[in-house]
A and B are shown apart, each in its own frame.
Chain A
């Protein structure tokens, strides 16, 4: 912008538009009723779908996971059946149980200690990831110690894990729309856009959850039940919420880019 000579001399710049400073702005006021309605509108359809169709969903997931696993597991060791769970009918994969040998458990304990030392003493960027690795190692160490001391007391089978995993995922899939709907409530933007974001997040979670299910079952089949606790505690639901936050942040970033230069979005403080 070229300044008029007088303005340039006196630093008195005439501007057509001055945006509200970040300290002095907010969005348009909304009523609690509008918010509640929007929240229900965004979250409820997904929650209802999960509640009404979870048997079909778990069956479809198990079929897809079966197809993926069939690449690495002989078909006589693999099956789909109704698995133990608190809700029925719930369909999951069935595999033969494999218990770790004492030698394998001791090796896992040793490796966990080694990785813990390396991860915690790691370089800069590895530090926060290292602390996560330490958490995983700690769980594996405890699990391995359990299998060394009292393997017969391990209360789960592969099929039980199957049921446990799918129940956990059903809970995750009911929570994702609620979490996202609540998080998106304060944000401007059209409802279809928000609805699409939740749909994409759900689709991703179901797909990722299925692939992970197949992977977990393969680990249990190949490397024993020892790794079950780590799968549940360290790389289970926590990972799902990380990508939910990822989708949310991408949406907010897009909205932020869209409203740049818009005078209508921002209101004065009161």
Chain B
């Protein structure tokens, strides 16, 4: 009994120490973004010899949004002879196919890929599209995005540097005013990009390729599996996180382009949001199981980068660790260890700092929205605390899914995020 209680105490202390480590990291990021020296990306480079680009837009039942994204891409300020657009119709059952075929008939740059056989899901769809993609640089947009005119040039120009393996732009929600959830997601996005990604880029750590509003160099990504050239493992639900880690392990760079902003649609429904973060947590944890030891052993990464990479991969494991720590504290409480009840303020302080979901500390989100020039929107910050248990439950589900995937080797099924755009 005494030994069991001792183990629980050690466990609680380890979780608190981990959370404090995350707080320190977020504080460093916030200070750096607010008043430190900022690293710019390659936006000032002008070149007439731009790389050939293939834009991939994975779509599964996207009739509500397909039109918008294709119109925007056709309007892009990029040399037409170097641009190819492949919308991927991934087992759609609505009018997505008709919309794509209509566009393809009118615009030769659009070469749709219709997939009705094989595995469904973004990684599998991109793998198949890469077989026919002619571009050296692959830029990916989700179907609900509205790429601005110059974004392809902004992203593609970074690939003039041969060390660059991937580029990530900034995602900005467009349906912010829909309800309280979308407003809160806007705050989270702000903290995640304006401060977190930019500071990681500034500090030479590991900014992340996010799978959309970004691109990667095809040649650094492709590898041969069973005689076929593929880029992504279809079993991993966050192909973007996997690619990020793979690139860093190869000694390549991921560039964060803060100015390359693109609007997206965020979930307007709590259930949809819950499923979305469950998928993120599952995929992220799958990557953690596969790459954590490799990051630790890597000769391509500095110590600081290794630490940042490991903290990045362990991020989604924190909510289940937190819930287990609450359970441990409960056991200690009923076992008559009141000293641990007085640890609760420290424990919940760390929770208060780390608003689960985007895992941005509240001061990081405050700083990000401040730089963004927001005023009244910042006052919604305390509402993010409402997400602690909600996100924690869904993320824990995702982490458990990933653990079961890891043990059983079962195949994963891709779950698309529902769209809310009006017809």
Residues of A within 8 A of B (CB): 21-30, 35, 86, 124-125, 127-129, 131-132, 134-135, 139, 142, 146, 153-156, 160, 164, 167-168, 171-172, 175, 179, 182-183, 185-187, 229, 232-233, 236-238, 240-246, 248-250, 252-253, 255-257, 260, 269-270
Contacts and interface: CB of A to CB of B under 8 A. Distances in A.
Nearest to A166: B342
Contacts of A134: 389, 393
A185 B31 contact: yes
A236 B378 CA distance: 25
Contacts of A244: 352
Contact of A29 (B35, B269, B353, B381): B35
A255 B379 CA distance: 12
B271 A269 contact: no
29 contacts: A26-B36, A35-B31, A124-B270, A127-B274, A131-B392, A131-B393, A134-B393, A154-B334, A155-B334, A160-B338, A168-B344, A175-B345, A179-B353, A183-B362, A186-B30, A186-B34, A186-B363, A187-B367, A233-B330, A240-B345, A244-B352, A245-B352, A245-B382, A248-B363, A249-B381, A252-B366, A252-B381, A269-B40, A270-B40
Given A245-B362, A249-B379, A171 B342 contact: yes
Contacts of B376: 253
B373 interface: yes
Nearest to B269: A124
B339 interface: yes
Contacts, number: 178
Contacts of B372: 22
B311 to A, nearest CB: 19
A29 B381 CA distance: 26
B390 A257 contact: no
B339 A86 contact: yes
Given A125-B180, A269-B40, A155 B378 contact: no
B120 to A, nearest CB: 28
Contacts of A27: 34-35
Contacts of B34: 26-27, 186-187
A256 B368 CA distance: 11
A237 B330 CA distance: 15
Given A237-B344, A249-B366, A249-B382, A164 B338 contact: yes
Contact of B381 (A86, A238, A248): A248
A256 B363 contact: no
Contact of B349 (A179, A229, A249): A179
Contacts of A160: 338
A206 to B, nearest CB: 14
A24 B380 CA distance: 25
A172 B345 contact: yes
Given A242-B352, A246-B382, A128 B367 contact: no
Given A124-B269, A270-B40, 6 more contacts: A23-B258, A30-B35, A127-B271, A179-B349, A186-B31, A237-B348
A175 B348 CA distance: 11
Given A131-B390, A155-B336, A233-B330, A183 B366 contact: yes
Interface of B: 27, 30-31, 33-38, 40, 170, 179-181, 194, 258-259, 261, 269-271, 274, 326, 329-330, 333-336, 338-339, 341-342, 344-349, 351-353, 362-363, 366-367, 369-376, 378-382, 384-390, 392-393
Contact of A24 (B33, B259, B369, B375): B259
Contacts of A167: 342
Contacts of A242: 352, 382, 385
Contact of A269 (B27, B38, B386): B38
Contacts of A172: 345
Contacts of A238: 348, 351-352, 385
B166 to A, nearest CB: 19
Contact of A25 (B339, B371, B387, B392): B371
A155 B35 contact: no
Nearest to B361: A183
Contacts of B378: 249, 252-253, 256
A241 B352 contact: yes
Contact of A256 (B194, B329, B333, B370): B370
Nearest to A255: B370
A249 B326 CA distance: 27
Contacts of B384: 245
B371 A257 contact: no
Contacts of B170: 23
A167 to B, nearest CB: 5
Contacts of B329: 233
A106 B362 CA distance: 40
Contact of A270 (B38, B258, B388): B38
A77 B311 CA distance: 53
Residue of A26, A128, A153, A269 contacting most chain B CB atoms (<10 Å):
A128
A139 B334 CA distance: 11
A175 B88 CA distance: 52
A257 B381 contact: no
Contacts of B367: 186-187
A245 B345 contact: no
Contacts of A236: 344, 348
A124 B344 CA distance: 30
B15 to A, nearest CB: 15
